[in-house]
Each structure stands twice: as C-alpha cells, then as structure tokens.
Amino acid sequence: MKKKLKILNICSARIQYPGGAEKVIWELSRFISKQGHDVTILQTDLYEKGYEWKAIENKDGVNIITCKNDRFVKGFGYSKDFKKKLKEIWEDFDIIHVFGHGRFTTDYSLRFIKDKKPVIYTSNGFFHDKKYGRIKKFYNKLFKSALKNIIFCTALTQLERDAYLELGVPDEKIRIIPAWIDSKKFKPRKIDRKKLLKKYGLEDKKTLLYVGRVHETRGAHYVVEAIKDLDFNFIIAGRDADLSERIRDRVNELDISKRVKLLGEVSDKQLAEIYSLADAFVLFSAWEGFGIVVIEAMASGLPVIVSDRGSLPTLVKNGENGLIAKFPDVDGLRDKIELLFSDKRLENKIRENGLKFVKNFEYSNVAKRFERLYGEAIGK
C-alpha cells in the first residue's frame, strides 16, 4: 500500500482566480487528494481585491487557507499573514510544492523552507522577460540562490526547461510535465447551433472564440481589429482585467456590437456551450507560459489560431494542428482567419489533428506523474 503523504501546495493567487496556473494547481490538488493523500493549499488574495473569501475552507477534500495580500507591487505581492501562517504549519507536511515565478509567496517559501523539507518548484510558465524586462532579468539573478535547495523543478515545456538550466538548475533535477485537460469536460458536442447563437444575440455566421482573462497581454483587442471588416462573429469569454471597457468602446466605435460579444466570466456550463457553438479559437497573446485554453479548444473540436509568442509554437505546428500568426501583426492575423475559413480541407485537417494531439494531455495521466514525483522526492 502506498504511503499517505501530507502535501502543502503554495500559490500566490487564489485557485478561484480565472488563470490557467490556478486551474492546474486546483485540479492537481483535487486529484492528489482523491488518491488518498492529505492536501492543503496555502494562497493569498493577490489580484482579487474586493472579492469575498473564507480564511479557511475545505473543498472536495482539499484544505484551503487564504491569507490577505497587503501590497501589490507589479503583481509581486506581499502578505504578512502568509509569512505567519507558513511558519505555523510547515512542519505538518511531508513535502512542499511551490508554484509561480516572480511572486512574494514563492520567494519567501523557498528561502524559509530551504532544506527543512523536500521542496518541488513549478514556475507555471512565468519566466519571460517581455514586460519589465530589466527588472525581471535582475530578479532572476537573485532568484538563483532560492533554487539551490529544491529537490525537483517541473517545466511545462522545453522552453521552460531551458530557462531552468539558465538559472543553474542541474538537468537531473528538471522534469517536463505539461498542463492538462479533462477529456470528459472538453470534447466535441452536438448542439442546436442556431438556437445557441440566438441565445447569445449573434447571427448565424462563422464565430471566433477567445477564452481567458480580458487583459492587454492576451490580445483579444487585436482580434477585434482583425475581424472588423470581416463578416464573422467574435465571442470574448472571461473575467475583465482592465481591458473590457476599452474593447467595448472600440466595438461601438466600429459599429460591430452585433458581431462582437463580451460575456464576462462564464460558468462551466456556459463554457461548454460557447466551445460548442464556435467555429474556431483564437489566442493572439504577447506571451503564454503554456496556453491551456488552446488545448481545451482543440479537445472541443475547434481549429486554433495562435500567436508566435512563448510556448504557443511548441503546442501548435503551423498548418498541421493550428495556424500561427506573427505577433502583433493584425494584418497577418486577419490573413490566417480568412485562410482558415476559406479552405474547408485545411480547417478539417487542423481540427482532426488537434483532436489527436490533445490525447497527450489527459488529466489523470499527467497528474499521476506528479504523484510519482512526490514519492521520488520523499525518497531523496
């Protein structure tokens, strides 16, 4: 019988926050808990000022402790409560898994724990320097020392593995474990498409979809510009992150509000609906550490169009399981959209290859690799 482990997962934002990293942390915690292990998440309310939350709760067998974030500082954060709570509880656990890069919770945890407990570190794809480049490069030099005592680092992609190597992490301490999807949740569905389009106030025409935070770095505003003269619908689904109002103003200015809909944050049921009614998915972002929504879209049977930034070209092979447009070339993006919808053979090829590709990211198979890694880390 396998040993029951007590695992502490540490993250900067609440797992309720609508980000790919938070989704992965939550689903991993839930999966590991269902395997018979005792899992606790220690988090702060970074990014969620004004949202209500409980300091201590249990959800699906996972203990969740939330601490108040005191300062933001370009997303780095600072939490006095987090420091106090970690000092109180760290001895109760067999292994500590720290998530996120460029965050106070990560820095403090790695330096405080040191060699007190086995530590696994997962950056969640945040190694890029595209924003605050000089600051991040300087920060990474300081961060090297915090990684000295980790047992393993996990990378979402080869791109992230290379970043670990640059930080001086020995190759034998790095494991590539991608993000995942639940194939029971994301799959092609038969629907009454006309009825659903009417429900969302859209005409019966080709429909593009974006899912995720509505933030400048995610590129939904570029898609609006790309389709302004094309007779296609565009659905934007996700919590506002200081861009929705700007997009609405631009949509009204262009007089395309009948074709472009901002739905805000959607439920799981709505998400399944909009993946089903869409004809293609677009993620034209400035950077992606992984791009889990791309995998969700492929699993839902949608051909995808992505930017050439971050990890996206590691997921999408141009002309095979998706199309890649150079960021931030709006004309180039428009050309890719037109190409996809003008070539039915290409559209079907991309859709079929996408469905085959996502079989590599089945939830239970990938999550089991983390469980095995925890056992290996304890053994060291």
Q: How far is CA 213 from the centre of its chain?
A: 10
Residues of the chain with CATH 3.40.50.2000: 6-180+362-379, 193-360
Q: Contact 305/294 with Cβ under 8 angstroms?
A: no
Q: Which tops the pLDDT comparison, 229 or 380?
A: 229
Tell me the range of 71-75, 100-104, 325-329, 359-363 where mean pLDDT is highest. Answer: 325-329
Residues with Cβ within 8 Å of residue 3, at least 6 apart in sequence: 375, 378
The stretch 344-369 carries a mean pLDDT of: 95
pLDDT at residue 127, rounded to an integer = 59
pLDDT in tens, 152-166: 999 999 989 998 999
Coil vs helix vs strand at 357: helix
Alpha helix stretches (DSSP H) within 70-103: 80-89
The stretch 178-200 carries a mean pLDDT of: 92
Coil vs helix vs strand at 330: helix
The stretch 119-142 carries a mean pLDDT of: 74
| Cα–Cα dist 125/314, whole Å | 13
pLDDT at residue 276, rounded to an integer = 95
Averaged pLDDT of the chain: 93
pLDDT at residue 133, rounded to an integer = 60
Contacts by residues 159-165 (CB-CB < 8 Å, ≥ 24 positions apart)? 159/310, 159/311, 159/314, 160/123, 160/125, 160/127, 160/289, 160/311, 163/123, 163/127, 164/123
pLDDT in tens, 28-61: 999 999 999 999 999 999 988 888 999 999 999 9
Percent of the chain with pLDDT over 90: 81
**Confidence band, pLDDT 50/70/90 cuts, at residue 131:** low
Coil vs helix vs strand at 101: coil
Q: Contact 170/380 with Cβ under 8 angstroms?
A: no
Q: State phi, psi for 48 to the nearest 5 degrees.
A: -125, 40
Task: Tell the CATH topology of 6-180+362-379.
Answer: Rossmann fold (3.40.50)
The region that residue 289 occupies, defined by phi over 0 for left and psi between -120 and 50 for alpha, beta otherwise, is alpha
Q: Among candidates 296, 252, 251, which has minimal Cα distance to 278?
A: 296
Angle ∠(115,377,2) on CA atoms, nearest 5: 130
Q: Considering the entire predicted model, what is its pTM?
A: 0.87
Burial class (CB in 10 A: 0-12, 13-18, 19+), 102: buried
Q: Among candidates 310, 266, 47, 267, which has minimal Cα distance to 162?
A: 310
Angle ∠(41,44,49) on CA atoms, nearest 5: 140
292 pLDDT higher than 80: yes
Q: CATH assignment of 193-360, given 3.40.50.2000, 3.40.50.1370, 3.40.5.10, 1.10.540.10?
A: 3.40.50.2000
7 pLDDT higher than 50: yes
pLDDT at residue 1, rounded to an integer = 41
pLDDT in tens, 213-264: 999 999 999 999 999 999 999 999 999 999 999 999 999 999 999 999 999 9
pLDDT at residue 20, rounded to an integer = 81
289 pLDDT higher than 90: no
Q: Contact 283/293 with Cβ under 8 angstroms?
A: yes
Q: Among candidates 348, 171, 197, which has minimal Cα distance to 277?
A: 197
| Cα–Cα dist 229/169, whole Å | 49
Residues with Cβ within 8 Å of residue 249, at least 6 apart in sequence: none
Q: Which tops the pLDDT comparison, 328 or 47?
A: 328
Strands (E), the chain: 6-10, 38-44, 56-59, 62-67, 95-99, 119-122, 152-155, 174-176, 207-211, 233-237, 260-264, 280-283, 304-307, 323-325
